[in-house]
Amino acid sequence: MNVPDRRPLRVAILSIGDELVLGTALDTNSRTVSIAVRDLGHDPVEHRTVADRIGPIVAAYRELAAHADVVISTGGLGPTDDDLVRDALNAIIDDGAPMVEDPVAVGDVEAWFAGRGRPMAAINRRQMMRPCSARIMRNPNGTAPGVACTIGAARVYAMPGPPREMVPMLEAHVLPELRAPGAPALVRIGCATFGIGESQLAERLGHRMARDREPSVGTTASGSVVSIHVVTRGPDAAARAERELAECAALAAPWAFGPLESTVAEATVRTLRESGATLAVAESCTGGLVGAMLTAVPGASDVFPGGWIAYANAMKERELGVPGATIAAEGAVSADVALAMARGAAVGAGARIGVALTGIAGPGGGTDAKPVGTVWIAVHDAATGAGRARRFEYPGPRETVRDRAAKTALQLVRWHLRGEDAPVIWERT
């Protein structure tokens, strides 16, 4: 059952389960399905989530099928009475007629239990049933076969919820039917930025973000990283996408640090290697988070000898050589303390670069002069003896302040080594 024409299909994605509606489980399936569909050159047009109730499930299938070419659902195919996808589809496509026991499903489910030396409960026979007008999609990874059918002109694919079952079924049964011979090639590439706001980045990209433009350019923000996405279809799609991305990345410099899914730490480690430099860290408010980000990069040990978590003032003095008089006069959260910490880290580790962070992550401890979220970050270069401290005020809860501060420190190190500089969205002079 291949797509008969070359136009992009409109695909709606339906997630079913009380745990998703109540927020006790995270829906990762919708993202997985969207990416897979998009990579085939089709258009995900809606995500919807409904509880394990027959009425909302029936309504969702009908409404989505009315405006989408394809409806892909996950969840609701288990053996219990609240797994209602088969019943919902049966009500829609066969007017509630008795369902049939599928012989292939019988063999697969029985074999699944036999292969594990476990008796099959009578309740699992429910998973062998399908509407008369539907067909099953085999599931070698669990006891829930999928169900495929049509509602009006829309094709419907119902898959189990556990990703270890859903993903193989998606790849084996659904995507091959949506992959049209001769369909326009779709290329999606992008780059990640840090330290610039999404609206500021959009202003820099300008007309490239026009809605109907080809190639299309868009932005998304997650974890304080703003990503640029370039999507194009048709002949020479890859070359056109690469040219567009190069222009976008140039407009986003120096905040742009690498391809999609890359991290600021990976970019910083790469820059350290290219510069032949090593980096030591001195962390107070981030409590080792910068070091953790660096050591998450494979092979970072060749540029990152280590560092210090100097949380208490006495530790800053003893381990990093911060003058007690400086702390007494200016406070631990200050430019001079950050500079002294960075210098002490570089000297103590024998590294060229030292980076230090000292601040107030919250929720308490702030003052009018130094509100919660205030962080001083300093970079010291032992090769020149020069150092620079910058003040930031990060909004958000404690974990957000720490995460943003750690990423900022890495970006500042990267900029220093590349001879680049720019304002950071949270910077305060």
What's the pLDDT tens digit per position in 325-354?
999 999 999 999 999 999 999 999 999 999
- Give the pLDDT confidence score for residue 235 in this predicted structure: 82
What is the value of pTM for the model shown?
Answer: 0.78
CA distance 198 to 196: 7
CA distance 279 to 345: 9
Answer for the pair 18, 51: CB distance below 8 angstroms, yes or no.
Answer: yes
Measured CA distances, 18 to 21, 26, 34, 236 (Å)? 5, 11, 21, 45
Proportion of the chain in helix, strand, coil states, percent, rounded to 5? 40, 25, 35
Q: What is the mean pLDDT of each run of 10 residues along the chain (429 residues)?
A: 64 97 95 91 94 98 98 96 96 97 94 91 94 97 96 98 96 91 76 97 96 92 95 88 97 97 97 98 98 98 98 97 98 98 98 98 96 98 97 97 98 98 96
Query: What are the chain's domains?
Result: 10-178 (3.40.980.10), 186-259 (3.30.70.2860), 264-428 (3.90.950.20)
HSE at residue 288, side-chain half, CA atoms within 13 A, is 4
Which token pair is 172? Answer: 């084996």
- Give the pLDDT confidence score for residue 1 in this predicted structure: 43
Choose among 153, 149, 58, 127: nearest CA to 14: 58
- Give the pLDDT confidence score for residue 183 in this predicted structure: 61
Choose among 49, 58, 50: nearest CA to 87: 58
What's the pLDDT tens digit per position in 218-231?
999 999 999 999 98
DSSP 8-state code for residue 138:
-
Answer for the pair 12, 71: CB distance below 8 angstroms, yes or no.
Answer: yes
- Give the pLDDT confidence score for residue 184 in this predicted structure: 61
- Give the pLDDT confidence score for residue 40 in this predicted structure: 86
First to last CA, the chain: 62
Answer for the pair 354, 278: CB distance below 8 angstroms, yes or no.
Answer: no
List alpha helices for 143-228, DSSP H.
163-169, 175-178, 198-205
Neighbours of 367 (CB within 10 A): 11
- Give the pLDDT confidence score for residue 321 in this predicted structure: 98
In DSSP terms, 227 is beta-bridged to 192, 220
